[in-house]
Structure 1
Amino acid sequence: MPFGEQPAYLRVAGDLRQKIVDGLLPPHTRLPSQARIREEYGVSDTVALEARKVLMAEGLVEGRSGSGTYVRERPVPRRIARAGFQNGSCTSPFRQEQTDERVKGTWESSSRQEGAGTAVAARLRIPAGGRVMRTRYLFRAEGEPSMLSTSWEPLEVTGRTPVMLPEEGPLAGRGVVERMAAIDVVVDNVIEEVGARPGLAEEAMALGGVPGHAVLVISRTYFAGGRPVETADVVTLADRHRVTYHLPVR
């Protein structure tokens, strides 16, 4: 195939995609049938089927059992504004978003002690199997699932202290910086890495998405004097959020 020339199924998918973007096929409209695509574009059944699969994989359409394939409602992405820790502000992506009075948020959490896996141990710079407090969160914005988060804190730092459980005790829910300060651990640096990957089935189910669709992952680690004191992965559906960084120049 000459350079720049697309396979037939991608050309068909591209034309249908453009119709969806332009509103010619609005949300909840039934996608043309395989036979209709074959006739309209002069392609084989295989090409028509593959074109429909592309649109489904991109999250533009969804199958409804016994009914057909329909154009999905396209969510308006929300901004996750990241501006760091200043003047006592929170640094959690979700909690920082909640400083906007227009956004009403709640969360559920559960914590348990466990041995750190290889990847988490490397991020916390502790031996594999070292004891950590793992906390899982489901964040909701205006009642709808918004983000998932899993955090790990080394118990050699927080164990047997009032802040051992992030969401219990006198500083419950106050954020890593404030909690660590209460035990004389001064957080002075935060590193965040933003990436994307296909969503896991359980993540999609929890967030109301479709398995395999892309998710954004914000991997964040707090440091105190060069020592990691907490690391976390925040997961959200890529088509629902945009991460915006505000980095002051000093």
Structure 2
Amino acid sequence: MAFGEQPAYLRVADDLRQQIADGTLPPHTRLPSQASIRSTYGVSDTVALEARKVLMAEGLVEGRSGSGTYVRERPVPRTITRSGYRTLGDCTPFRQEQADERVRGTWEARSERVEAAPGIAERLGIDAGEPVMCTRYVFRVGTEPAMSSTSWEPLRLTGRTPVMLPEQGPLAGRGVVERMAAIDVIVDNVAEEVEARPALAAEARVLGGLPGHPVLVVSRTYRAGCLPVETADVVVPADRFRVAYHLPVR
């Protein structure tokens, strides 16, 4: 293979991908069989199989047990906005979006006391094994899961206070900034990191789709000065939603 030349399986995948993009292979159409790919492109079974694997990894096709491989319907991505502006009190961006009556959004949450895993402890600046309040959310648009979120708050900060449970008590659902202010902790900055990775099996069960399909993960940490007060991982299906940022300029 000459320098810069693509491997054969990628050339085959490129051609099939173009056929999917231009509608030659529309959604729900069966992908050409391995034997057909081998014959059409003059490649080996191994190359044909690897080309199909590429398209599956990209989420363009899906296997159906006992039936074959089919082109997936590609939904038009919808936007989840993450805003630096404070509106509607201190609700989360998802809750702000749901204030629009045209959007039928719901969410559910469950909190439990757990021991901080090493990675979470590092993000919160505490020792591994320290108690934290872990809250798991699932947010839906209509009946469709839009994103999940898992947050952790150090109980050394919120334990035995009215805001210990994020979704219960007098400030239930009011957001981290307002809840922390109620116990005299002034949150003044937030950091977010965004990465793309394959969905874990547990995430796919909650959000729909298949393990390995791409998701966006927003790792967020709220701080009061240098003190981390909450950290969370927000998981969004990348093939159905995109994350948009709306930030103030000071």
**Partner residue, 2:7:** 7
**Partner residue, 1:112:** 112
Equivalences for residues 117-128 of structure 1 within 5 A: 117-128=117-128
Structure 1 residues 2 and 116, CA gap change in structure 2 (3 angstroms): same
Which structure 2 segments of 5+ residues have no match? none
CA deviation string 1:188-213 (max 9, x = no partner): 11111111112111111211111112
Distance in 2 between the 1:90 and 1:26 partners? 44
Q: Does 1:41 align with 2:41?
A: yes
**Partner residue, 1:141:** 141
**Partner residue, 1:83:** 83
Task: Give the drift of 1:226.
Answer: 2.2
> Aligned with 1:236: secondary structure?
strand
Distance in 2 between the 1:238 and 1:44 partners? 33
Letter in 2 for 1:38: R
Which structure 1 segments of 5+ residues have no match? none
Give yes or no for contact 1:197–1:215 (8 Å, CA) kept in 2: yes
Equivalences for residues 229-248 of structure 1 within 5 A: 229-248=229-248
TM-score by length of 2: 0.94
Q: Does 1:173 align with 2:161?
A: no
**Partner residue, 1:217:** 217
Give yes or no for contact 1:81–1:96 (8 Å, CA) kept in 2: no
**Partner residue, 2:186:** 186
> Aligned with 2:197: secondary structure?
strand
Structure 1 residues 91 and 216, CA gap change in structure 2 (3 angstroms): farther
**Partner residue, 1:97:** 97
Task: Give the drift of 1:101.
Answer: 3.6
TM-score by length of 1: 0.94
Q: Which segment drifts farther, 41-50 or 3-12?
A: 41-50
May I ask how many residue pairs the two structures share in their alignment?
A: 250
Give yes or no for contact 1:82–1:96 (8 Å, CA) kept in 2: no
Structure 1 residues 106 and 37, CA gap change in structure 2 (3 angstroms): same
Letter in 2 for 1:183: I
Distance in 2 between the 1:52 and 1:59 partners? 11
Task: Give the drift of 1:93.
Answer: 4.4
**Partner residue, 2:25:** 25
Distance in 1 between the 2:184 and 2:203 partners? 36
Distance in 1 between the 2:90 and 2:3 partners? 50
CA deviation string 1:164-184 (max 9, x = no partner): 111111211111111112222
Quote the RMSD (CA, aligned, Å). 1.6
Percentage of identical aligned residues: 75
Task: Give the drift of 1:104.
Answer: 1.5
CA deviation string 1:29-76 (max 9, x = no partner): 111111211221122222112111111111111111121111001121
**Partner residue, 1:196:** 196
Letter in 2 for 1:249: V
Give yes or no for contact 1:13–1:54 (8 Å, CA) kept in 2: yes
Letter in 2 for 1:49: L
